[in-house]
Amino acid sequence: MKNILLILIVTGCLIACTGNPSHKKTEMDKFVDNLLSQMTLEEKIGQLNLLSMWFDTTGPRMSRDVEQKVKDGLVGGVFNFWTPKAVRKLQDMVLTQTRLKIPLLVGYDVIHGHRTIYPIPIGLAATWDTEMIERIAVAVADEATADGLQWTFSPMVDIARDPRWGRVSEGAGEDPFLGAEIAKAMVRGYEQGDLSRPTSIMSCVKHFALYGAAEGGRDYNTTDMSHLRMYNEYLPPYEAAVKAGASSIMTSFNEIDGVPATGNRWLLTELLRNQWGFDGFVVTDWTAIYEMEDHGVGDRAKVTELSINAGVDMDMVSEYMIEELPALVKAGRVKESTIDAACRRILAAKYKLGLFDDPYRGISDERAKKQIMSADKLALSKEAALKSIVLLKNDKKTLPLDASKKIAFIGPLVKNQRTLLGNWAAAGDWEQIMTLWDALENKYAGAKFLYAQGCHLVEDGYIRRMTDQQNGNVIDDRPAQQLIAEAVQTARQADVVVAVLGEAYDMSGEAASRSNINLLDNQKALLKALKETGKPVALVLINGRPLTLQWEHDNIDAILETWLPGMRGGEAIVDILFGDANPSGKITMTFPRSVGQIPIYYNHKSTGRPFNNDSKFTVKYIDTENSPLYPFGYGLSYTQFTYSDVRLSDSTLTDGGNITASITLTNSGDRTGEEIVQFYVRDLVGSITRPVKELKGFQRIALNAGESKQVTFSITPELLKFYNADLKWTAEPGDFLVFIGKNSDVENNARFTLK
Ligand code: BGC
C-alpha cells in the first residue's frame, strides 16, 4: 500500500503540475496497471462485485454478509446506504482490514434529489428548462457527496411511449431530442467535467437499452424493435449522455434482438464501446445476470460467461461474478485479460473520483450540516415544482382562485405528505413535508378554507395489495358513501371546489405498471358527486404518469397536473392556484383519451393512408377520435401567447450552411408568463419514411403582458440528419417544413429546401 500511496502522491503532483488531461490519463493507466499487477484473480473479481447494504430489495436476490465480504476483498462497491458516519466506517474497514486497501465505490439511487427532493423526473422534464435541470444536478451532487455518496444511478434516459409503464415517472418522456438534451444536462451537472472534485458525483446512465419499450407497458417485459427505430428514436438519449461524459452505464432487464441486454455483446461492446467510444464501466441492473437464467439463455455459469464476455464490468447483487468467474477462467471460457479489462475500468473510475487520494472524499460532518437541505436547495426545489406544473384546462377563468372567496379543498391528497415526495425519493424525509393544506394555512393565515377528505386515496383491493399501505395510503373505517356525502355537504357551502386527487406515490415507479390509467373508481365517484353540486370545480392532480382524463376534461372546469412535485410541492401548488405564479410546464408525454390508443406519440409516421376524418379507409379507430386528449408539448398559461407566422432567413439550405427560422412571440394576455416555444421539422421525402414531426429545438421565454420578442432557431444540415436504411447518419437533400408553435399539434410552418 505504501507503494500505491507513493505512486499516488507522484501522480497527483504530476497532474497538478501539468494540468494536462491526456497526461493525467497516462498517469492513471500507470497507476492502475501497477495496482492490477499486485492483485490476485480473486481480488480482481472482487472489484466487479456490487452489493446492497440494506433493505430496498427490488429483485429476486438480496445481498448478505456484506461486511464480511468487504473484509475478504470480495466487494468493489456498495449501495443503498449513506451518511458520513456509515461510509467512513466502511472505508475504514477496507483500509484497515483488506490487503490492498482499495476504497469502495458508494452508490445510491439519487433520482430526483437526495435529502432535498425535487419533482419526479417526468415533472422536471415538463419544465423544459435544461439550464435549471443542470443546476439541480449540481445541487444534488453537492448534497449527496456531502452525505458520503460518490455515484448515483441516474439519469434514467429511457424513451417511453406507454404511460401504463410505471417508470415513465423516472424519465423525460417520449421524445428523443428533448430526452437527449435533458440527459446531457444531468450528466454535466452531476460530473461537472471532473470527477475528482469532491462535489461532483459519478452518473450512471440507465437502463441500457430500450427498457422503456416493454411490451404492453408491463415492467420487465420483452422488447422487440427494428434497428431503424432503435437508432432514430430510442438510442439518442443514451448516446448523448455517453458523449456528454457519463462515466458509467447500467444494463436493462429486457432483451434486445432476442438477447438479454446484460449478455448482449452487440449492445455493450459493438455499439457502446466501439461505435460510441464509451470508456467508463458497465454495471448490471439489480440481479440482471442472475435473471438471465429465467430469460432462458443458460445456467449460472453460462449467463456469467455471457455477461462478462458481452462487456459487463460490474455485477449488481447477483454475485454470480464472484461465484462463477474463477472456475470460468480456469476452464478457459473467460480470459483473464477480460477480467483485467473490467477491473481496470472500475479502478479507473475510483481513480478519477480521487478515491485513492482520499477514500473519504467529500465527507465531513460540517459539510453535511451546511449542504444538506440548505435554503438554496429547498428554493431550487420550489422553483422546479413551479415550472413543472402543467395547466391542462382552464375554462371560465376558474383559475387562479380568489382567496377572498369561500373555497373547499376536497380529496385524500389535500393533507397527504408522502405522495408529494414521489417514488425513488432516496433519503428524503416525507415527514418534513408541508402538505398542500399546511401551505394554504401558512400563506393565508386566518382565511377560512373548507376541507373534506372525500374518499380514500386507494380503495381498490388489487392495487392495495401491490402498493405500500404505509405512509399515507391509510384506509379508515368510514364507508365511501359517508365520505362522499360529507364532501358534497362541504362543497355546497363553498363558491368553488378544488378536488385534489391522483395516485399514491407507489402507483408509479418501478414495478407499478397499470392496465388502466384512469383516476381510481372511488376518486372518480367523488369527482362526479362534486360536479353534481353545480359548483365550479378545479381538479389538482398529484400523480406520476399521464392519465386518461377524457371524462374529467369534458366535465371539470380546470385541471392542473402537478406530478409528484417534491418537498416544496405543496407551496408551489398553492402559489399556482392563487396566481402568485403562472403555470408554464408542458407535458413531455402524450396524454391519450383511452388506454386503447396506446402507443400514441406525436412523432409517428404518416402511413400510406394518413388519418382523414371524412374517409373511412384511413388509419384510425371507429370508436374514438384519432387525436390524443393532450398532445406532446401541451400546456396552458393564465395569460395568452400569440405566434406570428414562421419566417425563414432563406428558402434554401446548402451543405455546410445555416439558415434561421423565427417567429414573434407576444404575450397578448394580462399577466406576466413564460412560454415554451417549440420548433419541429418534417422531412417531406426520404429514402426511408420519416416522422410527421420531430422536435429540434425549444426555448423558454418570459414575457410581461403586452410584450413581444423574436424567437429564433438555427437550422443546419446536421440538425436534419437521421439514420438511413444502412444505419448511416445522414441528411438527404429535399424539401422540409419547419413548425414553430406552442405544442406538437402546431400547424404554423414554412418550407425550405436542403440542396
Ligand atoms: C432498478 C434500477 C435501480 C436499481 C438499484 C433496480 O431494480 O431497475 O433503476 O438503479 O434497482 O436500486
Ligand 1 centroid to Cα of residue 211, in Å, is 12
Alpha-carbon span 335 to 340, nearest angstrom = 9
pLDDT reading at 470 higher than 80: no
Q: Identify the CATH class of 385-597.
A: alpha beta
Of the candidates 269, 348, 355, 270, which has an alpha carbon nearest to the alpha carbon of residue 312? 269
What is the CA(252)–ligand 1 centre distance, in A? 9
Cα–Cα distance, 2 to 503 (Å, whole number): 56
C-alpha to C-alpha distance for 387 and 123, rounded to whole angstroms? 9
Q: What is the pLDDT of residues 614-663, one digit of tens each?
A: 999 999 999 999 999 999 999 999 999 999 999 999 999 999 999 999 99
Rounded to the nearest 10 degrees, the angle between the axes of helix 320-330 and helix 336-352 is 140
Please list the residues that pair with 538 across neighbouring strands.
Answer: 498, 558
DSSP secondary-structure letter at 153?
-
Show the cell assigned to 11.
Answer: 501522480
Q: Sort residue 296 into left (φ over 0), alpha (ψ -120 to 50) or beta.
A: left
669, three cell numbers: 394576455
With a 6 Å cutoff on the Cβ, whether 708 touches ligand 1 is no
Q: What percent of the chain has a predicted confidence (pLDDT) above 70?
A: 94
Question: Looking at residues 439-464, what average pLDDT do you find?
Answer: 89
CA-CA distance, 511 to 689, in Å (whole number)?
Answer: 35
Provide the 8-state DSSP code for 203: -
The pLDDT value given to residue 64: 87
Q: Where are the alpha helices (DSSP H) in 311-407?
A: 320-330, 336-352, 365-371, 375-388
pLDDT at residue 59, rounded to an integer: 64
Asked whether 151 and 77 are in contact (CB, 8 A), the reply is: yes
For the CA of 170, the closest atom of ligand 1 is 9
- Cα(88) to ligand 1 centroid in Å equals 24
Ligand 1: which residue has its CA nearest to atom 6? Answer: 286
CA angle 636, 640, 642 (to 5 degrees): 110
Distance CA 274, CA 221 (A): 28
- Give the total residue count for the chain: 755
- What's at 405, amino acid-wise? K
Q: What integer pLDDT is reported at residue 314 of this predicted model?
A: 98
**Distance from residue 684's CA to the centre of ligand 1 (Å):** 41
Residue nearest ligand 1's atom 12 by CA: 109
Please report the atom of ligand 1 found closest to the CA of residue 153: 10
Question: Span 641-754: which CATH code?
Answer: 2.60.40.10
* Per-residue confidence (pLDDT) for residue 26, from 0 to 100: 85
Ligand 1 atom at shortest distance from the alpha carbon of 156 = 9
Residue carrying the nine cell digits 414531426:
693
Mean of pLDDT values over 79-91: 93
Q: Taking the CA atoms of the chain, what radius of gyration do you get in angstroms?
A: 27
CA of 377 to the centre of ligand 1 (A): 25
Q: Is the CB of 286 inside a 6 Å radius of any atom of ligand 1?
A: yes
- Is the pLDDT score of 447 beyond 90? no
Residue nearest to atom 5 of ligand 1 (CA): 286
Average pLDDT over residues 692-708: 98
| pLDDT at 60 > cutoff 70 | no
What span, in angstroms and rounded, lies between the C-alpha atoms of 323 and 327?
Answer: 8
CA of 709 to the centre of ligand 1 (A): 44
Query: What mean pLDDT is reported for the chain?
Result: 94
Ligand 1 pocket, residue 285 CB under 6 Å: yes
Q: CB of 58 closer than 6 A to ligand 1? A: yes
Residue nearest to atom 11 of ligand 1 (CA): 286
Residue 601 scores a pLDDT above 70: yes
Q: What distance separates the 2 farthest-apart alpha carbons in the chain?
A: 81
Residue 510 Cβ inside 6 Å of ligand 1? The answer reads yes
Answer whether 43 contacts ligand 1 (Cβ < 6 A).
no
Q: Is the per-residue pLDDT at 115 higher than 80? A: yes
The predicted-structure confidence for 564-594, as pLDDT tens digits, reads as follows 999 999 999 999 999 999 999 999 999 999 9
pLDDT band at 9 (very low <50, low <70, confident <90, very high): very low
Q: Is 109 close to ligand 1, i.e. is its CB under 6 Å away?
A: yes
* Distance from C-alpha of 6 to C-alpha of 197, rounded to nearest angstrom: 21
**Domain assignments of the chain as residue spans, ordered by start:** 1-106+335-373, 385-597, 641-754
What is the whole-number distance in angstroms between the Cα of residue 56 and the centre of ligand 1? Answer: 10
Distance 285 CA to ligand 1 centre (A): 6
CB 54 less than 6 A from any atom of ligand 1: no
Confidence of residue 7 (pLDDT cuts 50, 70, 90): very low
What are 266-304's pLDDT values in tens digits? Answer: 999 999 999 999 999 999 999 999 999 999 999 999 999
Distance, CA of 496 to CA of 405 (rounded, Å): 8
472 has pLDDT over 60: no
Q: Which of 149, 252, 179 is closest to 694 using CA atoms?
A: 179
Ligand 1: nearest atom to the Cα of 316: 5
Q: For ligand 1, atom 8, name the residue with the nearest CA.
A: 285
Q: pLDDT for 163-204, tens place per residue?
A: 999 999 999 999 999 999 999 999 999 999 999 999 999 999
Identify the band that residue 474 occupies on the pLDDT scale cut at 50, 70 and 90.
Answer: low
Reduced to 3 states (helix: H, G, I; strand: E, B; else coil), residue 310 is helix
Dist CA 627 CA 97 (whole Å): 64
Which atom, in ligand 1's list, is nearest to the CA of 204?
10
pLDDT digits (tens, 9 = 90+) for 203-245: 999 999 999 999 999 999 999 999 999 999 999 999 999 999 9
- Whole-model pTM: value is 0.95
Question: Does any ligand 1 atom lie closer than 6 A to the CB of residue 206?
Answer: yes
96 — pLDDT class (breaks 50, 70, 90)? very high
DSSP state, 471? T
Mutate to test the pocket of ligand 1, among 58, 202, 316 (most ligand atoms within 8 A of CB): 58
Whether residue 532 has pLDDT greater than 60: yes
CA of 56, closest atom in ligand 1 = 12
Q: Give the pLDDT confidence score for residue 315 in this predicted structure.
A: 98
- Smallest CA-to-CA distance from 241 within 276, 194, 197 is with 276
- Ligand 1 centroid–CA 245 distance in Å is 21
Residue 675 has pLDDT above 80, yes or no: yes
Residue numbers annotated as active site: 285
- CA-closest residue to ligand 1 atom 4: 286
Coil, strand or helix at 660: strand
Q: How far apart are CA 605 and CA 591, in angstroms?
A: 18
Across the range 337-355, mean pLDDT stands at 98
Residue 159: which of 171, 151, 148 has the closest Cα? 171
Q: Which of 209, 160, 206, 210 is nearest to 183 (CA)?
A: 206
